[in-house]
Amino acid sequence: MSIAHHYRPLDCERVSGFQRIWPLARQEMLGLFRTRWGVALYLVCLFPALGRLVMLLIMFGVVQIGPRSLQNRMASNMPASMDELNPARAAFYFESVLSTMPGMIFFLLLTSVVVSRCVARDRATNALELYWTRGISPWGYVFGKWLGGFLLAASMTVGMPLLLWISACFLAEDWTLMTDTIGQFSIGLLGIAFMTAIWTAIGTLISAIASSANLAMVAWSMLIVGSSAAGFVVSRVLDEDSLRSCLSFWEAGRVVVRSMADLPQRDVSVSGAFLMLGSLFGGLLLLVRRRMRVVEALR
């Protein structure tokens, strides 16, 4: 006796390369929030921006706490040297991200867990072979990993300054603050987004080169902290402050952003900062070309 079998028709649709890469990027972006420790880490990294938000509330008189010198600060004229503490200046909204402390420390804390370990962690668990079966090329895989890490880091470096600026615009008595700062703030926000992309790209390339996730995390930490310390020491010894922007990975990015947004800075080398970041990115890219071959992944 024969039994008729009924099968559902299967329609095969061509999927674009980005549609195959996006699930990988989304997984990388949201992976931190799968555990309570990951959520706690992310919230801790937002502390500097939240502190600035509280400062805004005090300055605009919404919250009547803190020192009286901060209350109704907007009513007084602050000198140009204090733009980083003046909500009427665009520099105020970027300081929590660009400063060495706390900006660099919390950026390092977030990216050392996510960005610097992304590729090396998959190699250690033999997950690369699985990704190749999804029709993702090696460079597509690296791009997906970078995109996920970039979106997560940008939610802190780009999203929080934007939130602070919007909050200040609505807390102000009129729209003067918005009209006076929107141009410089928009350029600065694009500059931070660009530099976050460069920073996370370099971290992803380091992860692609490293033989283990822990080694990648150590190398990434040494690049950010070690180069900052080296730049500070060399600039002090040679009495040339502009060397910091040429030797320090973090300081170079800070100089580029402030230069793009026309924020005040002195004793810096913008060309040296671009050269430092460009040469580092180019050198890592050449090393990754050899490391990220499909032949190696299938060994």
DSSP class of residue 78 equals P
Q: Helix, strand or coil for residue 145? A: helix
Whether 224 is covered by a domain: the verdict is yes
Structural domain includes residue 74:
no
Q: 6 lies in a domain?
A: no
Indicate the pTM of the whole model. Answer: 0.86
Query: Which pLDDT belongs to residue 89?
Result: 86
- Residue 62 · residue 171 · CB < 8 Å: yes
For residue 205, is it within any domain?
yes
Q: Can you give the residue range of the structural domain that contains 134?
A: 17-64+83-297
Residue 281 has a pLDDT of 94
Which residues, in sequence order, are CB contacts of 14 under 8 Å at separation 6+?
none
Q: Is 53 exposed, middle or buried (0-12, 13-18, 19+ CB in 10 A)?
A: middle
Quote the DSSP letter at residue 75.
G
Give the pLDDT means over successive 10-residue stretches in the chain (299 positions).
Answer: 60 72 89 92 92 85 63 53 76 87 91 90 74 74 92 94 92 87 93 95 92 91 92 88 88 91 85 92 88 52
Give the distance, in angstroms, between the CA of residue 90 and the centroid of all CA atoms in the same chain: 19
The structure tokens listed for 127 are: 């997950």
In a domain, 282, yes or no: yes
189 contacts 195 by C-beta, under 8 angstroms:
no
The answer to whether residue 12 is domain-embedded is no
Does residue 170 lie in a domain region?
A: yes
Radius of gyration, CA atoms only, the chain:
23
- Number of domains into which the chain is organized: 1
